[in-house]
Structure 1
Amino acid sequence: MSRDSIIGCLLGTAVGDALGLPYEGVSPQRAERLLGPPDRYRFLLGRGMISDDTEHTCMVAQSMIEARGDVNVFTRRFASRLQWWILALPAGVGKATARSGIKLWLGFKPRNAGVFSAGNGPAMRAAIVGAALDDVSLMLETVRASSRLTHSDPKAEYGAIAVALAAKHARDHETVDANVWLDQVIEAIGDEGAELVDLLRRASESVNEGQCTTAFAESLGLANGVTGYTYHTVPVAIHAWLSHPNDFRQAVTTMIRCGGDADTTAAIVGGIVGAGVGREGIPEEWIARISEWPRSTAWMQRLGESLANAIAGDPTCNAPTYNIPALNPVAVLIRNLMFLIIVLFHGFRRLAPPY
């Protein structure tokens, strides 16, 4: 376990999320004309904000701290956080996650709250589990618990497992070996995940042949953007990681250029590559220009340090709380409403040229 890998994963997820957010739902062709290259934040006056991808990753990290390796405790703590997160009306939440949160409020047990969906929600929050845990069995149990809380389709779980194992591999190996990583995925998901394994193998072979990530996405029928279907999201994100395992800037911008669900795909790639390169491998100006509250990048750093301490066995370590004003649900709601206004502005902007 590496403290720097945990922090790098958290911040890498946030940076990928914030860079990709303005490009969400835009085709690669129009994104270039409408927004320009994804080389800086284009969300609000040259600054970035995070969305549900990073928020869920942080909630998973907090719940892991409190769980102390007990998956049942992790499930309960994550379910509780998800309930309150939904209550604050986050913008852009996926349908399956929203329905799961509502079911929790209606009294459903966490094991019954999941909705049959193969969306990429579980994959977007899985990298931190792989970046943090050495015990593969515990890692897989935690990913499964996180996935099933919101998505009951096994495909969503398989995609999340592939992402978590990628983050673990990036953390543990200076030089990525796609074959070793793929063998671990095959062992973890079994024959029922054969379709995903085939797609991941195609991604690895494509990288070996020198094919760029955008061309690989096009070969999967995703020329107009990568969708939120996990069997679209994960193979393309893995291709970006394998193409640029030690170059955070190139990996994330390449992923965003594929279009579609760009904040989630870039968050996944950012989390995986961030686990390998650590904070020092992430452009400092990208970290510094995220304008967030209450989940600031400084708070994420403290969260990463607390998670590392908890995994190392520190019994006094607790999940960091926000600054006192942010503990007021009304304050979080105000932040989310402001965020929604900016998102709506981008939505209306897309109605105007250039097309």
Structure 2
Amino acid sequence: MENHFQLRSRFRGAFLGCLLGDALGRLFEMMSGNDSRLAPALDARLAGKGPWFYSDDTQMMMSVAESIVRTGRVSAMDILATLAANYEPTRGYGSGMRRALEAFRSGRGVGFSSWAEGSKGNGAAVRGVPIACAYHDDMESLAAFAEEAAGITHAHPLGRGGAVAMAIALGAVLAREPVSSLLARVTQARAVAGTILATKIENAWQLAREQADGRTAASALGNGIVAEDSVPLAFFCFLRWAPHFDDVVKNAILAGGDTDTIAAMAGALCGAQVGEEGLPATWLGRVERGPKGIEAVKELADGVFALWEKRALAR
């Protein structure tokens, strides 16, 4: 049986894996996987010496963790308030999130849409890493909390479904469930079952079994900003190349499209599997420092772990 020290490392792995995928992938956002400049640019980025700065994805993930650690629970409105308090436009927020957070900060309330039927972007999926860690051993609560936390900004069912799918998958990785169980949990979840998201996640597994490359998978699944495209592609990269963290993240980026978010999600899944010790030390050394840098991410992971441990020991 895994001890708590090992599980703490895998909490850190999920947080740091998200950070690394985001920080490395940010520079290549919306480049095509067919662009001949992408692979050399990625190699140059890896060989360079400058620091890697994270995007809105990591900032939102950290905000969710801050809220959970401070309140001891998942409070959707406190998460929204924390997202708004930490909002830095220079991190590269999408137009929908910018409008939502600026409206909240100015006292104009909640409610916006990048689509007529409500937001179906992937932001809610990537920021849910702390929720998945905190409730990985209680899948029913995990799914409910992931959907509730997504709903503060994502009205579209597929936006919320992407958040639920990512949270359940990450929870299942932390619980050491086999791939067959993970996929069944995800595709049969109420918010996912019967949707295009479920179909694409099943297709992602088939493509991984066929050892497809990233560009082939991106062509079949999509690689854009909507959850129904990016969540399945992140799953594919994890299923195809894990437990090799660097291969998971690099191939997520080489698939093109929304590279920072897709690599962040794939990195979180693989990081949860291999733990902090399984992450590339040279990459960890490149990520930005400072008050909200890599050490803060580790502290938040430890804070979420402490909450989980307290609840687990009380049972």
- Scaled by the length of structure 2, the TM-score of the pair is 0.87
**Residues 255 and 266 in structure 1, CA contact (< 8 A), matched pair in contact too:** yes
Q: Distance in 2 between matches of 1:243 and 1:206?
A: 8
* Greater Cα offset, 305-314 or 121-130: 305-314
122-131 or 250-259, which deviates more: 122-131
- From 49, 54, 75, give the equivalent of 2:53: 49
Aligned to 1:212: 213
Determine the C-alpha separation between the residues in 2 that align with 1:303 and 1:208. Answer: 35
Which structure 2 segments of 5+ residues have no match? none
Separation in 1 of the partners of 2:108 and 2:255?
38
Counting only pairs closer than 5 Å after superposition, residues 153-172 of structure 1 correspond to structure 2 as 153-172=156-175
> Matched residue of 1:313: which SS?
helix
Other-structure match for 2:11: 6
Aligned pairs for 1:1-355 (under 5 A) are: 2-30=7-35, 32-33=36-37, 36=40, 38-39=42-43, 41=45, 45-69=49-73, 71=74, 74-86=75-87, 88-107=88-107, 112-113=110-111, 115=113, 116-133=118-135, 134-173=137-176, 177-189=178-190, 193-220=194-221, 222=222, 226-313=223-310
1:29–1:90 Cα change, 3 Å: same
Distance 1:189 1:240 in 2: 24
Give the deviation of 1:152 after TM superposition.
Answer: 0.8
Residue 120 of structure 1 deviates from its aligned partner by 0.8
Cα displacement (A) at 1:153: 0.6
Q: Deviations over 1:113-144 (max 9, x none)?
A: 35311111111112332233222122122211
Counterpart amino acid of residue 208 in structure 1: R
Structure with max Cα Rg: 1
Question: Post-superposition shift, 1:191?
Answer: 6.9
Name the aligned partner's letter for residue 118 of structure 1: K
Tell whether the 8 Å contact from 1:68 to 1:311 is kept in structure 2 after alignment. no
User: d(CA) in 2 for partners of 1:291 and 1:12?
Assistant: 14
* Residues 34-68 of structure 1: CA deviation (Å, up to 9, x unaligned): 66153564698532111111111111111111232
CA distance in 1, matches of 2:237, 2:195: 21
Q: Which residue type is aligned with residue 245 of structure 1?
A: A
Distance 1:108 1:183 in 2: 41
Q: Deviations over 1:233-275 (max 9, x none)?
A: 0111110011122111110001000111111110111111111
Distance in 1 (CA, whole Å) between partners of 2:44 and 2:66 is 29
Question: 2:186, 2:192 within 8 Å by CA — same for their partners in 1?
Answer: no
Structure 1 residue runs without a partner (length 5+): 315-355
RMSD of Structure 2 on Structure 1 (CA): 2.3
Distance in 2 separating the partners of 1:103 and 1:278? 38
Scaled by the length of structure 1, the TM-score of the pair is: 0.78
Aligned-pair distance for 1:285? 0.7
Separation of aligned partners in 2, 1:193 and 1:67: 35
- 1:161-184 residue CA offsets vs partner (Å, 9 max, x unmatched): 1111121122222xx633211221
Report the Cα distance in structure 2 between the residues aligned to 1:146 and 1:190, rounded to whole angstroms.
13
